[in-house]
Amino acid sequence: MDNKMKAVVKTQRGYNNIELLDVDIPKCMDDEVLINVKAIGVCGTDYHIYTDEYDTVPPLIIGHEFSGVIAEVGKNVTNFNIGDRVISELSVESCGTCRYCKTGNPQICLDKKAPGTHINGIYAEYINMPANLVHKLTDNISFEEAAVIEPAAIVAHSFLQRTKIEPEDFVVVIGPGSIGLLAMQMAKIYGARKVAIIGMEADKKRLQIAEKLGCDYVINASEEDPLAIIDKLTNGLGADLVVECSGSAGGINSGINMLRKQGRMCVIGIPGPEKIQVEWKKAVIKALDLVCTFSSSPLSWNWVISMLDRKALDLNSLISHKEPLEKWEYVFEETAKGNVVKAVLLP
């Protein structure tokens, strides 16, 4: 194996400052596997690293969503072989002994280092990963689908594990990006009575995908009043569960307004750096459960692999762009124009 590989590197803070470089292939340590990357998911985080709105510690290889094939196995690793098709969780250097690790949440361990923001990520041909974070893929999951498992695991963790959908819930998803489209599908899979999704005129393409994926009510808030529609659809009671994926004050407040008393909000969307105004009093008086969530637990990765294996979840419909790794900048430009639902880069 030639010891150099192509990688997309953020060289220093500031707008863009990203280059395709030849770098050393990482060494496979005793407890690790070296993975030949086959597909890379382009995350909103990567785009915000490009625009420099996300904190990073350059120089580093960006990216964190991927799938691949094992190219080398560390000498302490017994449960993987060269050639295994895999994906990997991202809780690198989680301690294994703190309260969060002990309760199955290494993703919020204080020692954790995130690939693509704190340490080298995966916009590259190879990455080394601790073997205890790696999951095998079944044969009927493609590399492209597998590259989108990480965001799906975020949704499974926040929506199924933390907030918990209940039987016959009327669910409203606010924000039809890839996270919202995943939440909409999981609401259908896990027992929602009806699911509505709300977006704006700029989301037209995403709203069409929601419709194609079987969403019961697709609402364009630039044209119609979502509050009035949800009120009517729930006979004046309000929604049981809102999944907030927009991170905007408008989205959060319309969620608070459209929930019934004792309704639940699953908060996944991350607001920008500015403080936002939230109708807190209304949330208190309605006795709402507001569940904020972040990242994905190990269990949620198992769940998503199982959903994909039994073809319950459609990730292919979210993939709007497939491009070679060299075209990373084109994909970010497309993202800036609002044309991307989910992009996959192929090294």
Q: How far is the CB of 95 from Zn ion (least distance, A)?
A: 4
Q: How far is the CB of 97 from Zn ion (least distance, A)?
A: 6
Q: What are 291's two structure tokens?
A: 């569940």
Mark the segment that binds Zn ion (CB under 5 A) among 36-44, 186-194, 207-215, 261-269: 36-44
Residue nearer to Zn ion on the CB measure, 69 or 98 = 98
Q: Does 101 bind Zn ion (CB under 5 A)?
A: yes
Given candidates 28, 35, 109, 241, which one binds Zn ion under the rule CB under 5 A?
109
Q: Does 233 bind Zn ion (CB under 5 A)?
A: no
Size, binding site for Zn ion by CB under 5 A:
6
Residue nearer to Zn ion on the CB measure, 63 or 347 = 63
Q: What are 224's two structure tokens?
A: 């119609």
The rounded distance, in Å, linking the Cα atoms of 40 and 325 is 8
Mark the segment that binds Zn ion (CB under 5 A) among 83-91, 101-109, 136-144, 167-175: 101-109
Q: How far is the CB of 90 from Zn ion (least distance, A)?
A: 9
Question: Which residues inside 38-67 make contact with Zn ion, applying CB under 5 A?
Answer: 43
Q: Does 270 bind Zn ion (CB under 5 A)?
A: no
Residues making contact with Zn ion (CB under 5 A): 43, 94-95, 98, 101, 109
